[in-house]
Chains A and B, each alone.
Chain A
Amino acid sequence: MRTRLLLVAALAVAVASAGVLAHHGGNLYDTTKPVMLKGTITKFEWGTPHNQIFFDATSDKGEKQSWVGSTEPAPVMLERGWTRRSLGPGDAVTVYIFAAKNGATVGNIQRIVKADGTELTASGGGARAGGEGAAAPARP
């Protein structure tokens, strides 16, 4: 039963996210499973048409990689509880991202967990935006 519920929840997330992820090339990204990356924020660009989040992470092979992930634009992220000060250079983060299928270090941010445990949800409805019945954040 629990597995079924999880499957339904995962499907709901996928469906709810589809419209968002389709924005500007969602077909470029592997939306079946977010990749988890631990790293450090280098730049946070807050604006339109999308936010850009630059961060450095270390690959499985120990190589340092520079990533860029995008989210919905600032006005939408305000609805999800983000602000322009939500992230800053030097922040240690765990990033869950739908990465490019071609192996490039870019993608669509799904969720970010900061070192102090603060969660920033980027996909689906989000707590503020969705309220009752909102899609849960995508989890790896």
Chain B
Amino acid sequence: MRARLTSAVVLSAVLAAVPVILGAHPSTDARDALSEAEGQAAAPPVPPMDVHTLKNFLPIGPPDPLPKSAVPDLSGDWALDNRPGRGGIGQSMSAADPGGRLRGKEPDIPYQPWALEYTMRQTPPTGPDAGFERTTDPHIHTCEPLGLGRIYMYPAKTKFVQTPEAVYILHELGPAFRIVWLNAKHPADPDPNYWGHSVGWYENGDTLVVDTIGANDRSWLDQLGHPRTEKFHFVERYKRVDKETLELEMTIDDPGAYTKPWPGRRNFRISDTGFMRFAWVCSVRDNYEHYEKVGAKGNSGTTTFK
């Protein structure tokens, strides 16, 4: 609002100054033009976002000064750890309810009322409340990119390529990649997109911290319909626990949808079966055909999507 007022004042001043500079009183035409310009200036179509003024629950961006840390070795092909108790495969971002059995009643998701209502209005494609043939999931119907967080709700592998300037996170699901810029700051006005803008740094010699803003609101956070907004601030902490184990702690900091930050977790184990041996590409045709071949018959003959 303040930015809008400032823009209006500046533009008005510039336009008002024109006739003064030219040594003449403003004509009727000029006054009309001024009024019109004032009207337009009062409502710029998209006020610029300044990340430094975002009121999130958690600080955004790297700490200043950056902590000194050795660079942990994140090399390897990382698969979600599906051993019992490791929380590897789950449909929900909720750390307390990765299987989605408590959808809408998770003890660790501090919904704003609209976010709860939105979540419960969705029909997930999977999980205990699944309704594949009538799902509202844009990923199933249009292969909308999975985006931040949700990429880890599927049992596909991830790889990290570490360079001095950036860490490249490669996902064989998609396939998709992200760039985590090291020793960098977020731009003041990032263009919202599925993967946002990420900066990162190392801590304690064993952890990569990734700080992301600039997400759009077009992807769910997980497979169960939990929303995110353009205020979404996502913090990921990848900790190399030992040669075969990588732990990921996620923090969802989105004052547009939730009343405080909340956690998500996934664990990875090293894999020796080869990265990208089978790229997991989303295909609408494959999604629909799978349902018609298998799910529809078990669903008493529903053979078409609604």
Q: How far is the CB of A101 from chain B (nearest CB, A)?
A: 7
- Residue from the set B82, B157, B277 with the largest chain A CB neighbour count within 10 Å: B82
The interface on chain A, measured as residues whose beta carbon lies within 8 A of the other chain's beta carbons, has a size of 46
7 inter-chain pairs at a CB distance below 8 angstroms, sorted by A residue, are A19-B90, A19-B99, A24-B130, A24-B291, A28-B295, A75-B173, A107-B298
- The residues of B with any CB-CB pair to A shorter than 8 Å are 79, 82-84, 89-91, 98-100, 125-128, 130, 132, 155-157, 172-173, 269, 271, 273-274, 277-278, 280-283, 286-287, 290-291, 293-295, 297-300
Contact A130 B83 (CB under 8 A): yes
* Cβ-based interface call for A93 (8 A): no
* Cβ-based interface call for A56 (8 A): no
Chain A residues with CB below 8 A from B127, complex form = 22
* Contact A49-B287, Cβ < 8 Å, known A73-B280, A79-B79, A128-B273: yes
* Cβ-based interface call for A133 (8 A): yes
Contact A106 B277 (CB under 8 A): no
Contact of B126 among A22, A52, A75, A132 (CB under 8 A): A22
Chain B residues with CB below 8 A from A68, complex form = 293-294, 297
Contact B298 A19 (CB under 8 A): no
Residue of B nearest to A76 (CB): B155
Contact B83 A106 (CB under 8 A): no
Contact A79 B100 (CB under 8 A): no
* Cβ-based interface call for A10 (8 A): no
The answer for the CA separation of A76 and B132 in the assembled complex, in Å, is 21
Chain B residues with CB below 8 A from A125, complex form = 82-84
